[in-house]
Amino acid sequence: MLIVKADFQTKLGHPDSALITAKLIIKKWPKEISNTISIGEYYEIKGDTISAAGYYKKALFVVNHILDSIGVNNRRYGSRQIEKAKALILLNRPEKAHAILKNLFDKTSSEESKKSIEELMEMSKHDILYGKKKTTSNGTTMTNW
């Protein structure tokens, strides 16, 4: 619930409040990589790219350590690969992220998972940070958050 609050604070233009909320989340769940990535995103939206990169690198370090210690048959392996790919995109390394996602896509049998992977494969750093704009069938533009 707190991560939803932090995301909402960011969308309302209050990245400082989002950072405070996100840091509370990290205290409660320090091993959740997505929370570390989120703090980086809040810093990036604030314009502090140096702090943002530090959090993305921390997330990448942790996820690499986890991936090294679990097997490909572990039920969380795919989600950890997705977290790694997202951190790489945010670190301006989309080619490496795309290779990870393509490999994961090719090995996934679930259509729902394939759709999620495909959506991330199509996203840029800007799309992740600010939402991806889509044009609907009636010509209006919507932003996916």
Domain CATH for 47:
1.25.40
Rounded to whole angstroms, how far apart are CA atoms 57 and 52? 9
Number of domains into which the chain is organized = 1
Instruction: Give pLDDT tens digits for 64-89.
Output: 999 999 988 898 999 999 999 999 99
Entry pTM: 0.82
Q: pLDDT tens-digit profile of 24-38? A: 888 888 778 988 998
Helix axes of 94-107 and 77-90: crossing angle, nearest 10 degrees: 160
Rounded Cα distance, 34 and 26, in Å: 10
17 half-sphere exposure, CB direction, 13 A CA radius: 12
Domain extent, residue 100, equals 2-144
Burial label for 18, CB within 10 Å (0-12, 13-18, 19+), is buried
